[in-house]
Amino acid sequence: MQPYQEFLAEILIDEKSLQARVKELGQQISADYQNQDLLLICILRGGVPFLVDLSRHISIPHMMDFMAVSSYGVGKRESSGSARVSLDLQMDIRDKNVILVEDIVDSGLTIASVLQLLETRQPKTLKVCALLDKPERRESEVPIHYLGFSIPNKFVFGYGLDLDEYHRNLPFVGVVDLDKYKPSE
Ligand code: 5GP
């Protein structure tokens, strides 16, 4: 696999800025849900690093659960339109305060279909926390109650966001130089 240094066009959000913002979001959520039950739902796999860091900054007791939806396959960089649930939640969300934790809202189609599905399960409240938002690409209007950063229409990787399943571990969000990136066969 190609080292990321070969195709990193720029670091868009560095580690320090990411950590500072995630801490603020955790503090805000802790204040908003004081004395209330809270369940964080992480959308696999991109939301994992964000969920882990965010959860550490949430000072109130809370639960977490995971679901996987497929909209972008390996090698594809466009949303397929609607999300298919490939791994469902273990928990019953009925009457619970739920925050959906997502890496990035791009077209918005993934979050829109996940929200639609979760609403049918009658949670007490349902909110969205996204690390990144690419508003220029929006096709479906979705509410983002807690947002890390609004970014330009560039393909990014790192901090959960993958390039053909690699590089999710990087502590920063970087922009891909697609002319220099060579996808593995
Ligand atoms: P949407 O349905 O909002 O178009 O797509 C959301 C999903 O697409 C995200 O959860 C993420 O997996 C993927 N995605 C959207 N933009 C990017 C990007 O710039 N980089 C990467 N690595 N994935 C992206």
pTM of the model: 0.94
How many angstroms is it from 106 CA to the middle of ligand 1? Answer: 6
* Position in ligand 1 atom list of the atom nearest CA 103: 10
Residue 34 Cα to ligand 1 midpoint, Å, equals 31
The closest residue, in CA terms, to atom 5 on ligand 1 is 106
CB atoms within 10 A of CB 27: 13
Share of the chain above pLDDT 90, in %: 89
Answer whether residue 165 shows pLDDT above 90: yes
* CA 118 / ligand 1 centre spacing (Å): 20
Q: Is the pLDDT of residue 24 over 50?
A: yes
Our answer on whether the CB atom of 133 is closer than 6 Å to any ligand 1 atom is no
Q: What confidence tier does 70 reach under pLDDT thresholds 50, 70, 90?
A: confident
**Average pLDDT in the 93-105 region?**
98
Cα–Cα dist 81/106, whole Å: 11
Placement of tokens 């639609």 in the chain: 116
Least confident of 54-68, 78-92, 157-171: 78-92
Which among 106, 164, 177, 179 is annotated as catalytic? 106
Residue 1 is predicted with a pLDDT of 84
Return the pLDDT at 87.
Answer: 96
Domain residue extents for the chain: 14-151
The verdict on whether 106 is a catalytic residue reads yes
**Residue 40 binned pLDDT confidence (cut-offs 50, 70, 90):** very high
Q: Is 181 helix (H, G, I), strand (E, B) or coil?
A: coil
Reply yes or no on whether the pLDDT at 73 is more than 50: no
Q: Does 90 have pLDDT greater than 80?
A: yes
Burial class of residue 149 in the structure, from the number of CB atoms within 10 Å of its CB (0-12 exposed, 13-18 middle, 19+ buried): middle
Q: How far, in Å, are 1, 123, 163, 179 from residue 184 at the CA level?
A: 7, 42, 10, 14
Q: Which fold has domain 14-151?
A: Rossmann fold (3.40.50)
Query: pLDDT value at position 77?
Result: 53
